Structure 1
Amino acid sequence: MHTGFLTIYWRDMLRFVRFRTLLFASLVQPALWLAFFGIAMSNNFERLTATMPAIPGVKTVGYLTFIGAGVIAMTTLFTSLFGGTVLLFDKNWGLMRETLSSPLPRIHIIIGIGLSAMTKSLIQASVIMGFGLLLGVEFFEGYTPAQTIFSLLGIGLFIGAFSLGFLFLSAAIAITMESPEGMQAVITLLTMPFFFTSNALYPVNSFPPVLRALSTINPLTHLVSGIRYFAIGSDFSSIGLRYTYTQQGILISFIALLAFAGIMFLIARWRFTKVRVT
């Protein structure tokens, strides 16, 4: 049984841990983003919605809690999309040539890098979640220990499926590009539409019809919905609006993320079969 993907996985994780500046920045930056942007925007929204009547029988959460799920999703998106950059550097430095010419199946390269990106995303999500709780994010309010563990597992499954999909997309881009600058430009171009057509920062109800349609098929929207369902609940209100999630809807969101990951895996695998060792 081949376990070459574990070698690829551990190599990338060791590089992540040993580059302490990168490790520190990747963990602290999203936490600071939540602290400064989240608190500033939370104060503004709380002031604007202070006069709105509460919805009877519905739990009300602050904007900091609402955006907390969005920050976790945003960090996962960035980590996954930039995760394939390591393949581009390996290609430019000649390491990819050695790997591709070895008996290791090429699919193991994709799987190993995908698992490392998923691990990084889960670590970052845990850090952001813990830091958010210290800031006053109301995740898991009223949950029993068993419910909290179940919710954490649910969030982990959503983050895992999402991160794999975008890492496979990133890997397909990396193996095609020739320069880091070109890859960064493509990733930046992709990041903005995914992020700003999602429900990460604000509700999508007021979107124009075209953007609302894009939001429904946006993987980031499905991830944010899953995190909010498990971390906040199935029925709550925030910034004057009510949000309800059903088990069927969340299951559909998870299946959509799995389908996206499967399609991106096939694309990445196809691109790797086209690579020629020179």
Structure 2
Amino acid sequence: MHKGFLTIYWRDMLRFVRFRTLLFTSLIQPALWLAFFGIAMSNNFDRLTATMPAVPGVRAVGYLTFIGAGVIAMTTLFTSLFGGTVLLFDKNWGLMRETLSSPLPRIHIIVGIGLSAMTKSFIQAAVIMGFGLLLGVKFFEGYTATQVLISLIGITLFIGAFSLGFLFLSAAIAITMESPEGMQAVITLLTMPFFFTSNALYPANSFPPLLRALSTVNPLTHLVSGIRYFAIGSDFSSIGIRYTYTQGEAVTSFIALLIFATIMFLIARWRFTKVTVT
């Protein structure tokens, strides 16, 4: 029984590796986004904040470092939300009918696809992080080797929980939709509010009250905060604003992501028990 979800997992990973164009664009596109948008915005913000007084005793980081965590989170969001598209194609091509008629429990389909999306997110995050360090992103500055290892484990846990939650959401949407165009429209509609009500590109404390409230419950905000806590530190300043993250806040953000992933899993499981593929 335990091999069922591994079969789904390996099939999706083989498809990811063999489609060279998909593999290339999924790895290069976020790196280019960081290179062009990140550097352009970094020059503007750094020039603006250069005239502001530094916060005494607090390490100042450039906007490129600040946005680096946001780009990793943004890429994980896009990868996870579009990860369920494979289920829609399987349904339209008749492969889903054969899978559902097999002895394989339906929950294994969800878990297998979820693990493959999580693996892709890990790969892309590693590429972005490595490319960002080459561009001048100051992750893990002043860290010892042990601290870097612990931080990488923490970032991996945050990305894993986040990607599973949004993949389960994507799977629930995919098994409900009938056309790729419809699914793409729904995912695009979901992506914008999640992304722009988060702290990925700018500080959330400058939002209007309503958007600030949405930001506090936004899973993307919790992911970005977790990455910054581990990769930059618990106390730093950027864009003229001081940021502090306590260990308790990091744990709370991780628990929030686990709760979100659990709820999305239950929704995806419910949708898969109700679906009938003809």
**RMSD of aligned Cα (Å):** 0.5
Aligned-partner residue type, residue 179 of structure 2: S
Aligned pairs for 1:40-51 (under 5 A) are 40-51=40-51
Moved over 4 A (4+): none
Q: CA deviation at 1:277?
A: 3.6
SS in 1 for 2:205: coil
Q: Distance in 1 between matches of 2:118 and 2:185?
A: 23
SS in 2 for 1:205: helix
Q: Distance in 2 between matches of 1:91 and 1:117?
A: 18
Given that residues 30 and 128 in structure 2 are in contact (C-alpha distance below 8 angstroms), is that contact kept between their aligned partners in structure 1? yes
Aligned-partner residue type, residue 165 of structure 2: G
Given that residues 54 and 60 in structure 1 are in contact (C-alpha distance below 8 angstroms), is that contact kept between their aligned partners in structure 2? yes
Q: Which residue of 2 aligns with 1:226?
A: 226
Q: Which residue of 2 aligns with 1:15?
A: 15
Q: CA deviation at 1:275?
A: 1.1
Given that residues 91 and 277 in structure 2 are in contact (C-alpha distance below 8 angstroms), is that contact kept between their aligned partners in structure 1? no
CA deviation profile, 1:49-94 (whole Å, cap 9, x unmatched): 1111111110000000000000000000000000000000000000
SS in 2 for 1:242: strand
* Matched length: 278
Aligned pairs for 1:3-152 (under 5 A) are 3-152=3-152
Q: CA deviation at 1:206?
A: 1.1
Task: Structure 2: state its 5+ residue gaps.
Answer: none
Q: Which residue of 2 aligns with 1:210?
A: 210
Q: Which residue of 2 aligns with 1:153?
A: 153
Q: CA deviation at 1:2?
A: 2.8
Q: Distance in 2 between matches of 1:161 and 1:8?
A: 19
Q: Distance in 2 between matches of 1:214 and 1:28?
A: 31
Aligned pairs for 1:187-202 (under 5 A) are 187-202=187-202
Q: CA deviation at 1:3?
A: 1.6
Q: Once the two structures are aligned, what percentage of the paired residues are identical?
A: 89
TM-score (norm 2): 0.99
Task: Structure 1: state its 5+ residue gaps.
Answer: none
Q: Which residue of 2 aligns with 1:259?
A: 259
CA deviation profile, 1:191-244 (whole Å, cap 9, x unmatched): 000000000000011100000000000000000000000000000000100000
Aligned-partner residue type, residue 182 of structure 1: G
